[in-house]
Amino acid sequence: MAPTAAAMVMNRAPKTILITGVSRGLGRALAVEMAKKGHTIIGCSRAQDRLNSLLDELSSSQPPQDNNKNNPSSSKHLLMKVDVRSDSSVQVLARAVMETKGIPDIIVNNAGTINRNNKLWEVPVEEFDTVIDTNIKGIANILRHFLPLMLGRKQGIIVNMSSGWGRSAAAQVAPYCASKWAIEGMSRSVAKELPDGMAIVSLSPGVVNTDMLASCFGSSASLYRTPEAWAPKAATLILNLSVADNGASLTV
């Protein structure tokens, strides 16, 4: 069904968008694309130096009317060093967001990692834990602290980045597959808990040439589209999500 005129106007209205894992890859490309469209970006990552360079890029990407004439270097965006694996770190983020930007309209749980190609029984314990803690607990931590804020106004869209390997399986990436299958299940379960007016979806980005893909595919990862080529289509899809998509498993 084609979106109504009212829905299209609403989609064009500036939104506040929280994206985790913005320091590189899909998260960074998506943040830049959303900023170009005039939206306010709240981003987090563990890499402060990359956050600094991204803030400069976001500020130069935002439309001229969004720039502060008295201070051209100012930015309407908020980027913070946060480890989504840490509940207390996410709690600090939520407090800062509420104090400075208000409740996000859209949350994109993008932060993720993958294990080095290996049979499950040969994956080091610490590496397995990192995948689970980042990909599953990281999303749970964000939901724990931001969902109650969004529930108060019964409005908001949450996008949990999944994978084709969250709906199928592959050898040597069992921890990653397990985490993405968990994201699919968690998203569908939470969808049943949300009030009318809200939606949560799992979104597979498709095959994109990121550092994670290169860790699996090696040099052949370069045969696939870049995050920058992926971002415009992904941004359009995310901005057009509605309550009718609640619980869906989608692909860019």
* Active-site residue, selected from the candidate residues 146, 165, 176, 181: 176
3-state secondary structure of 60: helix
Tokens describing residue 237? 């899809």
Q: What are the tens digits of pLDDT across the range 125-146?
A: 999 999 999 999 999 999 999 9
**pLDDT band for position 74 (50/70/90)?**
low
Spatial strand order of the sheet with 249-251 comes to 78-81, 40-45, 16-20, 106-109, 156-161, 198-204, 249-251
The pLDDT score that the predictor gives to residue 11 is 58
Q: Report whether pLDDT(5) > 60.
A: no
State percent of the chain over pLDDT 90: 81
Residue ranges of domains in the chain: 14-251
Q: Report whether pLDDT(199) > 80.
A: yes
Q: Report whether pLDDT(60) > 60.
A: yes
The pLDDT score that the predictor gives to residue 9 is 45
The pLDDT score that the predictor gives to residue 3 is 52
Query: Looking up tokens 């799992």, which residue turns up?
Result: 202
> How much is the mean pLDDT over the chain?
91
Q: Report whether pLDDT(8) > 50.
A: no
Are 235 and 34 in contact, with CB atoms under 8 Å apart? Answer: yes
Separation between Cα atoms, residue 132 and residue 182, nearest integer Å: 9
Concatenating the DSSP letter of every residue in 103-165 gives S-SEEEE-----PPS--GGGS-HHHHHHHHIIIIIHHHHHHHHHHHHHHTTT-EEEEEE--GG
**pLDDT band for position 7 (50/70/90)?**
very low
Are 192 and 139 in contact, with CB atoms under 8 Å apart? Answer: no
**DSSP letter (8 states) at residue 226:** P
Determine the residue type at 173.
V
- Per-residue pLDDT, averaged over 156-170, amounts to 96
Question: Among this protein's residues, is 224 annotated catalytic?
Answer: no
Kindly report which listed range (34-38, 59-63, 72-76, 214-218) carries the lowest average pLDDT score.
72-76
Q: Report whether pLDDT(169) > 60.
A: yes
Q: Report whether pLDDT(70) > 50.
A: no
Q: What are the tens digits of pLDDT across the range 96-122?
A: 999 999 999 999 999 999 999 999 999
Tokens describing residue 166? 């969250």
**pLDDT band for position 46 (50/70/90)?**
very high
Nearest in space to 62 (alpha carbons), one of 36, 42, 39, 41: 36
Q: Is 231 exposed, middle or buried (0-12, 13-18, 19+ CB in 10 A)?
A: buried
Q: Is 195 exposed, middle or buried (0-12, 13-18, 19+ CB in 10 A)?
A: exposed
CA gyration radius for the chain?
18
The pLDDT score that the predictor gives to residue 211 is 82
Determine the residue type at 14.
P
- Per-residue pLDDT, averaged over 197-214, amounts to 90
CATH superfamily name and code, 14-251:
NAD(P)-binding Rossmann-like Domain (3.40.50.720)
The pLDDT score that the predictor gives to residue 52 is 95
The pLDDT score that the predictor gives to residue 62 is 64
3-state secondary structure of 20: strand
